[in-house]
Amino acid sequence: MVKSYSKKFFICIILFFLFCSMTLIFAACSPEQILYTITFETGTDNLEIEPIVAKAGDEIAIPKIERDGFIFYGWEGNDNIFKSNTMPNENITLVAKWLEKTNLPLMSIDLSDEEGNKVNLENVVKEKYVKSSISLTNTDSNYQFSELDASFKGRGNGTWYQKKKGYKIKFDKKQSLFGLEANKHWVIIPCFDDETMSRNYMAYNMAREVFSGIEYTTTAQWIDIFVNGEYQGVYLLCEHVRVGKGRVDIESEYGVDDTGYLLEYDSYYSGEENVDYFLADGLDIKYGFTIHSPDPEDNAYETDGGISKERFKQQILYIKDYVTRVYKAALEKDWETFCELADLDSFLDMYLLHEYCKNTDTGYSSFYLYKKPGGKLYAGPAWDFDLSANVARGENGKVEGIYVADGVSNTVITYSELYASLYRTDEFRAAINVRWKELSPKIRAFIDEKLNEQVYEENRIAMARNYVKWNGRNLYDAEKNWLKEIEILKNWYIGRLEWLDNEWK
C-alpha cells in the first residue's frame, strides 16, 4: 500500500514539473516575447537597409530613403502601403515604391472612415465626404506640406460616369496651394476625354493671363495623384468655383435682395423652379439658372440667425428678375439696356474665349455669371473646356466657322441663344473686331509659351504614365500618342486663330 502511494506521488511530481516546464515554454513563446523581423527591398543594388528586429507592438521607425531621379512614396507590404510605427506580429518584407521623377508636383491622399479604417477610392461617392490626409511633395519647398487633415468626395456631372473620376478636397483649415489665396475648397479634374490633358489647362490659364476682361478664373496646375499609396495618374488641380477672397470676391448675404450672387446656366438641374433654381420666364432659352451663392444649404432655415425659406424665395425673385432683364435685352438686341445691366468687358471676353476654343458647353452648362452688390451682371468665371478645340459636339473639329453664336454649324444642345443674338447686334460685332485685334497677338504668344518642345519634353513621361494607367497602353505608345495629340491641338489653336484673324478684321 505504501509502495502504491509512493508511485502515485512520484507520478504527480513528474506531472507537476512537466506542467511548469510547458508553462515556461509557452510564456517564452508568447506574442509579447517573440521577435519578428521586417526586411526591406529597395529595388536598387546601391541602397541596402538593415532589417528591423523587435517584439510585436514595440515602437519602430520605418526609414525614408532617397534615390536619384525618383520619388520615394512608401513601403508596400501585403499589398498595402505600410504606415505603422509599431512592430506587427508577423515577419514581413517591405518593398520600396518609386515613381520616376518628373516636373509635376505629387499629391498623396490617404482615405479613411471615422474609425480610421482605409476607404478604397472606388467607394468614394459624390454625396458624402470621407476623411483624408493630404501631402504635397516634389515642388518648391515653400509649397510642400505633409498629412494635412481634409475631407474628400466625388464631383462632376458627365465626368462622374467615366473610369477616371473627378474629386473635391475640403481642408479642415484654409490652405494655400502653390502660393494661391488660402481656401478650404479645391478640386482635382480628371480630363479623361482629352487625349492631351491640356484643354482645360490652356483655357483657364489663357483666361487668367490674356483675357483681362474676365475678372477671375481658376488657375490650373498638373499634378500626379496617389490615393492610399496607389498611383492614380495626372489630374488638373483647380480652385473650386465659389464666392470667396481671391475667387469670386463679392459679398453674398441672405435676406438682402441686391447682394452678390453666383449663378450657373445649368442644363443638369430639373426643369422646374426650386429654391435654388429659376427659369427666365417668357424667354426662348433652353435651360435655367442654378444659384450657387447664397447657397441655401449653408443657411439654417427657421433657426437662430437663419431666414425663412419663403424669405429666401423672395430674395431669389430679385436676381431672377435681374437676369431675365439682361437676357431679354440681349435677345431683343436692346444694346443700351444690356450695357446698363451687364458688364460688357466680361461678356465680350467670355464670348471670345468660348468662340475661339469652340467650347461645346457654352449654351449647355458650366456657364457662370455673377452679380456684384449694387452692381452689374458679369460673365465668369470660365469653366469646363474639356470638350472644346476639336473634341465632341457639332463642327468644332474645324478651325473655320462661327460656332458658339451659330445654330447652323453648332448643335441644338450647345447653341448659345445669348451670344447668337449679341453676335447679330451691330455694337457687339464692332466691339468684337476691336477687342480681337488686341487679344490675337497675346493669344499667339501664350500658345508659343505653353505648347513648345521644352514643355513637351518636361511633361511627356508624366502624361504617358497617365495613359498607361487609364488606357492600358505601353509606355512607348502612350508617350508617342500624347506627343502626336498635343501637336495636333497646337496646330488647331493656331489654325483657329488665323481663321478668326481673317474673319474679325
- Cα–Cα distance list, 12 to 19, 273, 394 (Å): 10, 90, 96
pLDDT score recorded for residue 67: 87
Residue 95 has pLDDT above 80, yes or no: yes
pLDDT tens-digit series, residues 157-181: 877 888 999 999 999 999 999 999 9
Decide if 95 contacts 454 (C-beta within 8 A).
Answer: no
Using the 8-state DSSP alphabet, how is residue 342 labeled? B
> What is the mean predicted confidence (pLDDT) over 432-448?
98
This prediction's pTM:
0.84
- Give backbone dihedrals phi and psi of 138, rounded to 5 degrees, phi first: 55, 40
Record the cell numbers describing residue 5, joined without a space.
Answer: 502511494
For residue 62, give the CATH number of its domain: 2.60.40.4270
Residue ending a domain, choose from 101, 135, 167: 101
Residue ending a domain, choose from 101, 126, 153: 101
Residue 136 has pLDDT above 70, yes or no: yes
Identify the bridge partners of residue 47 per DSSP, sorted by sequence position: none
- Cα separation, 62 vs 130, in Å, equals 27
The answer to whether residue 67 sits within a structural domain is yes
For the chain, the first-to-last Cα distance in angstroms comes to: 129
Model confidence at 68, in pLDDT bands (50, 70, 90)?
confident
Can you give the residue range of the structural domain that contains 341? 261-503
- Cα separation, 281 vs 283, in Å, equals 6
Least reliable range by pLDDT among 139-153, 265-279, 283-297, 319-333: 265-279
Residue ending a domain, choose from 47, 69, 101: 101
Using the 8-state DSSP alphabet, how is residue 306 labeled? -
The answer to whether residue 54 sits within a structural domain is yes
Number of independent structural domains in the chain: 2
